[in-house]
Structure 1
Amino acid sequence: MKRALIKLHIAVFLWGFTGVLGRTISLNEGWLVWWRMLLTVVTMWILFGATGKIKKISARQFLTIGGIGVLLALHWLCFYGSIKYANVSIALICLSGSGFVSAILEPLFFGRKINIKELFFGLLTIVGIFMIYQTNLHFSTGFYIGILACFLTVTVSILNKKIVDQYQPESFTLYQLTGGFIGLSVLMPFYNHAFPAITWLPAGREWIWLIVLAWFCTIFTFILYTQALKKLSAFTMNLTLTLEPVYGILLAFVIYHENKDLSNTFYIGFLFILFAVFLQTLSLARKRPGTAAAPLPKWWQFRIKGQK
């Protein structure tokens, strides 16, 4: 149990580190995501192929899974774009609005009533985001892109919920990222024309950071997370996952001193968001803790009710 918890915290810490790497790598958001997906997909085909974890699917199934993967690639594009136009803290704060978006969109997709409690928790995060936005207007462009990233990640999550149980996690992840990479590759000439990049090739140490992003923050965390799933309860997984944006923001403060670029209201707005997370945690704690598998994080979008 203790080893599983350590693995989970390492995985969550590495996910929080992805935002910092997005700022460290000088490539624009388009080429950064393209290289990340290329390194990840090639490595996963080799790794999962060697271990016999790839299951064949039909062309129609690939188009469905891969199409969602394109949306995932666009989410990453917007997430790193938010970092480039604002900073890591703003990008992560925008993603915290996914609870509110989920509370509205999921009932529409699954034909259920809106959960008032979920909607209330989501509204608290929106209040926090709005407070931060109002006093950091110089980051407006980053905010808008970050909100779009939030909508995209919720959309991917909802679409995945409809089909994910039909596939093995390794195969589903591989085909989704492969489809996303193919779609992004088709998009990149147009994107690069609209937003010309100084260079499309990583320079020097940026190769190392891209490998860290692809191998450690994507593939390695996937392995750690799936191992932890077998030992820990869904409640423990959900509770620990709430630390991801906290880790990311603290890392941005320590490494890039982003706290100097943010107004004092940022902390008040952030407290609103943390309060919403706290209330949600209490809500989960009152339910009987089960041992069912918790969701995979936003990189794969395997989510359960209540997870942001």
Structure 2
Amino acid sequence: MPLRRVAALLLEPMSVFEYAVAAEVFGLDRTDDGVPAFEFITAGPAPGEPVALNTGGAIVPTHRWSDVLDADLVVLPASEILEEYPGELLEVIREAHARGATVLTICSGAFTLAATGLLDGKRATTHWRYLDLLARRYPEVDVTIDVLYVDNGSLITGAGTSAGIDACLHLVRRELGAGVANAIARRMVVPPQRDGGQRQYVRTPVPECTADSLQPVLLHVLDNLHEPHSVTSLAQRAVMSERTFARRFSAETGTTPHRWLLQQRVLRARELLERSDASVEQVAADVGFSSAALLRSHFQTIVGTSPQRYRRAFSTT
């Protein structure tokens, strides 16, 4: 596809950072770095009519929504999640897409695109805080947490906030090549391509347990994650049969003892990787995995990236 005319559609209250991501990638002249020139326009309900920002202030669009029908790329930055979206805006998005435009969303912009029906039957993502709401409101959309963006060809959805940078650079790389994407990334001082998905940014809290008989068991496990634990040993500590314990555990935590134990071991591993310089092998032993390979396998499954990459991204040491 050509990638020359790029339009950001504004809907108040607009999130300033997500709008700025699109403006930074496509709105600056970087031809001296070998980046093709883009025509970047902002469109709102009416040209010259300020669109309020969620931080205060406003952006004044130069065009109306209907002026973007011939755009090569339509960007939907984050805005407040509405119960109902303006019909004119949804129709403009549908028609621009039908004419060949790629539509890219950043963060909660996915709700606007989902409201058009264009995401029905397709994978999509948004900020991890809104994933459940997106899935409930638009059940025909296959919502996923495992990625920073989802590329459906002419429809691209980016996850939370800075993942919009990843989505925009991915599109540039796809259409204009790695050299152009790398040049933009270098000027922005960001990695041209990040590893992993947004699951690595989601904190997994310890499930709250209301049964007096189970709370001491869970606390014991959390204080002794390095030790071996099984349904048999935990049921004995709770003074229950294994069947009763498993049923009670599932009712109180919403998961199985095995799954909960894996989640807590990986969560503790995340904390150690962030706060210590212990080797991955030592971290694995400290949280109760028999080998570093086993930690890597479960870490990749639950967090969506490797322990080494997670440490590089989040280490405070």
TM-score range, shorter chain: under 0.3
Higher helix residue share: 1
Q: Which has the higher contact order (CA 8 A, sep 6+)?
A: 1
Greater radius of gyration (CA): 2
Higher strand residue share: 2
What is the TM-score of this pair, normalised by structure 1? Answer: 0.24
